[in-house]
């Protein structure tokens, strides 16, 4: 049964990352266990009671969708025993993992918080300790759903993107406000995510999803290659969205969709989203071919959502319905 006392009980799940790294001859590599991380910040005991699980110890570059399923399963198995969950994770693919967990664990009334660091916890100039303390504070609060807590910001799992490679303010919330901020150890919550009485867990992803970033002058060959080997293709186009009128792209997409593939068009621009129907280069894609449009979603969320959807169905109408059905505020425009 969930803990009903004033003192919250939180599970720390370690997956590796910079936060748990030490200097080796081959560069920084995850070495520390969750217990060793906690030893650096004994003050956490004043926030909540903590149990530890060392699920993985990987550089986040090595994290795969199979690992996302492991994380979700770990939480599902222990969901009734804890008031909240903290996952330590490398920053490079944390936004993908946060998005994936948002689809694999839907409507959670309990916090599922991801955090990490730009500098290892053993370094003098580290952000690890602040981020961990903040993550445990949030995991002990009424903060439903999946979020990233980093640099004193609380970001919805479906809206996070790593926008800085080295500095402590690594993550931004794209096209959506922060859920809250932490100031002097206190969570100032702006938005409470929707949740149910209990979460809905999913245990299947279709990893046959590819991402293609357009560059000027590109022909259809790369798209053909990816579509042949995958069930879905996400195309990062330019500006509000469209495909080049030369190079056979239109026919490539037409043929793929006729063969039952799913094609999603998004934008390389971080903010404000796509609007495919504005220009001639995009209008026919949506209105004649039925290409899905990502609108204000992040690329990370589109990738994870399409894997989740295609793990459930290949029916075109159902894929479209699920894609445009908001999950954890992942898509607002044109839905809201």
For the chain, domain boundaries: 9-201, 209-324
Check pLDDT > 70 for residue 2: no
**Residue of 188, 76, 81, 168 whose CA lies nearest to 128:** 168
**What's residue 335's pLDDT?**
55
- Other Cβ atoms closer than 10 A to 5: 8
**What's residue 1's pLDDT?**
41
Kindly list the distances between the CA atom of residue 307 and the CA atoms of 99, 113, 230, in Å, as whole numbers in the listed order: 11, 22, 11
Query: Each residue of 185-209: pLDDT tens digit?
Result: 999 999 999 999 999 999 999 999 9
**Residue of 82, 12, 85 whose CA lies nearest to 54:** 12
Please compute the mean of the pLDDT values over residues 311-323 and round it to a whole number.
Answer: 97
Please compute the mean of the pLDDT values over residues 277-296 and round it to a whole number.
Answer: 86
**What's residue 334's pLDDT?**
67
Computed over every residue of the chain, the mean pLDDT equals: 94
3-state secondary structure of 144: coil
Q: Which residues are catalytic?
A: 18
Q: Which of 27-31, 71-75, 118-122, 205-209 has the least mean pLDDT?
A: 27-31
Check pLDDT > 50 for residue 178: yes
**What's residue 271's pLDDT?**
94
Please compute the mean of the pLDDT values over residues 160-165 and round it to a whole number.
Answer: 98
Task: Please say whether the beta carbons of 299 and 271 come within 8 A.
Answer: no
Fold of 209-324: Rossmann fold (3.40.50)
Bridge-based pairing of strands 84-88 and 9-16 is parallel
Q: What is the DSSP letter of 105?
A: E
Check pLDDT > 80 for residue 95: yes
Alpha helices in the chain (DSSP H): 34-39, 65-78, 94-104, 128-139, 221-229, 249-258, 280-284, 299-310, 316-324
Check pLDDT > 90 for residue 333: no
Between CA 139 and CA 147 the distance in angstroms is: 10
Q: What is the CATH number of domain 9-201?
A: 3.40.50.1170
3-state secondary structure of 204: coil
Residues listed for the chain: 336
Q: Which of 95-109, 254-268, 321-335 has the least mean pLDDT?
A: 321-335
Between CA 266 and CA 277 the distance in angstroms is: 12
Alpha helices in 140-270 (DSSP H): 221-229, 249-258
Please compute the mean of the pLDDT values over residues 262-288 and round it to a whole number.
Answer: 89
Q: What is the DSSP letter of 112?
A: E
Q: What is the DSSP letter of 287?
A: I
**What's residue 84's pLDDT?**
98
Within this chain, domains 9-201 and 209-324 share the same CATH topology: yes
Check pLDDT > 60 for residue 31: yes
In terms of pLDDT, which residue wins out, 255 or 4? 255
Check pLDDT > 50 for residue 27: yes
**What's residue 19's pLDDT?**
95
Between CA 147 and CA 102 the distance in angstroms is: 8
Query: Each residue of 110-132: pLDDT tens digit?
Result: 999 999 999 999 999 999 999 99
Cα 84 to chain centroid distance, Å, stands at: 18
């Amino acid at each position: 049964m969930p803990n009903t006392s004033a003192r919250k009980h939180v599970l720390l799940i370690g997956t590796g990352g910079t936060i748990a790294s030490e200097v080796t001859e081959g560069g920084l590599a995850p070495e520390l266990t969750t217990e060793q991380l906690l030893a650096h910040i004994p003050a956490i005991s004043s926030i909540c009671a903590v149990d530890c699980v060392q699920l993985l110890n990987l550089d986040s570059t090595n994290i795969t969708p199979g690992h996302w399923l492991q994380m979700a399963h770990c939480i599902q198995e222990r969901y009734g025993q804890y008031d909240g969950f903290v996952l330590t994770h490398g920053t490079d693919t944390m936004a993908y993992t946060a998005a994936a967990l948002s689809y694999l664990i839907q409507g959670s009334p309990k916090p599922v918080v991801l955090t990490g660091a730009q500098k290892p916890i053993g370094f003098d100039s580290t952000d690890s300790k602040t981020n961990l303390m903040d993550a445990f504070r949030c995991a002990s609060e009424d903060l439903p759903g999946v979020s990233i807590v980093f640099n004193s910001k609380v970001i919805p799992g479906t809206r996070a993107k790593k926008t800085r490679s080295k500095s402590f303010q690594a993550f931004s919330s794209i096209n959506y406000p922060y859920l809250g901020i932490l100031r002097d150890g206190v969570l100032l919550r702006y938005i409470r995510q929707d949740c149910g009485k209990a979460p809905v867990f999913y245990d299947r992803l279709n990893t046959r999803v590819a991402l293609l970033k357009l560059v000027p002058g590109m022909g259809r060959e790369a798209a053909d290659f990816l579509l042949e080997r995958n069930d879905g293709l996400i195309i990062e186009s330019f500006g509000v969205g469209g495909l080049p009128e030369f190079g056979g792209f239109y026919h490539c997409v037409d043929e793929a969709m006729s063969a039952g593939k799913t094609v999603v068009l998004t934008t390389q621009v971080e903010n404000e989203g796509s609007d495919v129907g504005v220009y001639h280069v995009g209008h026919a894609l949506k209105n004649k071919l039925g290409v899905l449009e990502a609108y204000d979603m992040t690329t990370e969320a589109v990738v994870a959502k399409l894997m989740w959807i295609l793990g459930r169905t290949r029916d075109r109408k159902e894929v479209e319905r699920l894609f445009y059905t908001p999950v954890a505020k992942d898509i607002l425009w044109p839905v809201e």
